[in-house]
Amino acid sequence: MSGMTRSGQLDRSRQVALQVHEILRDRILKLQLTPGTVLSRGSLQLEFGVSQTPVRDALMRLQEEGMVDVYPQYATVVSKIDIKHARQAQFLRMSIELEAIRQLTAQEPKEAAAELQAVLSQQKLAASQTTYDQFDRLDQDFHKKLYEKAGVLELWTTVRRQSLHIDRLRRLNLPMPGKIQDVLSNHEAIVAAIASGDEERAAAVLRTHLSGTLSIIDAISAKFPDYISR
C-alpha cells in the first residue's frame, strides 16, 4: 500500500498527513472506498495510529481535490463521480495529447513508436481481470510516454491532478466486457499510425480512445446509479 512500510505502519520519516492522504486517495481511485462511503475520523486515527490533526489535514486535502464531501458536525463522505469534471479533464487531456501526436508523427515517429510499443508489450501481459491495477498503471505509462516524447512531461502532473473523477469512471468501465481488449487495440493502432507518420489516423484513434468511457456514460450510470453525479 502506498506510503506504508512492510510492517504496515506509516513511514515516520515522511509527513504523516501526506501519507494518510495518499493512501485514502489511492483507495478512492481504486474504488476500494466507493462513493457514499462514510469516513470516520476516529476509525482512521486508530487504523493509522495518528492523532486527529493529520487525519483532518488529509481529509481537507481530499475535499480540495473533490474526492470527499465534508458535512460539518456530521460526516465526511466519499464524493460521487462528477461527470462535468470528468468531461473537462477529458477535454484537457485530448487537447494536449492530440498536439503531442502531431509533433511525434512529424518529428520522430519511429523512435516514439518503439518506446510506446515497449510499454504496450508489458500492458498486454497484464490484460487480465486479476491484474487491473497493473494494467491501469501501464495504461497511464503509455500515455505519459506521449508527453515525455513531446517534451511536455511537466503537463502530465497537471493532467493527472485533474483526472480524479474520470479515473474513477474508467475503473468502473474497465471490468466491462471487451473494454481491456478495446484499450489494447486502440494502443496498437496509435503505435502503428505514429510509426508510419500518419498523423490523421493517429489523431482519429486517439479521439476514439479517450472518448471511450464517457461515450457509454449512460450504461455506466445505469449499472452504478448511486456512484454518479450528473
CATH number at residue 33: 1.10.10.10
What's the pLDDT score for residue 130? Answer: 80
Q: How is the chain split among helix, strand and coil, in percent rounded to 5?
A: 65, 5, 25
CATH number at residue 172: 1.20.120.530
3-state secondary structure of 71: strand
Q: Please state the pTM of the whole predicted model.
A: 0.88
3-state secondary structure of 141: helix
Q: What is the mean pLDDT of residues 3-17?
A: 65
**Are 54 and 92 contained in the same domain?**
no
Could you give the number of structural domains in the chain? 2
Q: Is 129 exposed, middle or buried (0-12, 13-18, 19+ CB in 10 A)?
A: exposed
**Are 134 and 101 contained in the same domain?**
yes
Cell of 151: 517534451
165-224 pLDDT, tens digit each: 999 999 999 889 999 999 999 999 999 999 999 999 999 999 999 999 999 999 999 999
Q: What is the mean pLDDT of residues 134-153?
A: 96
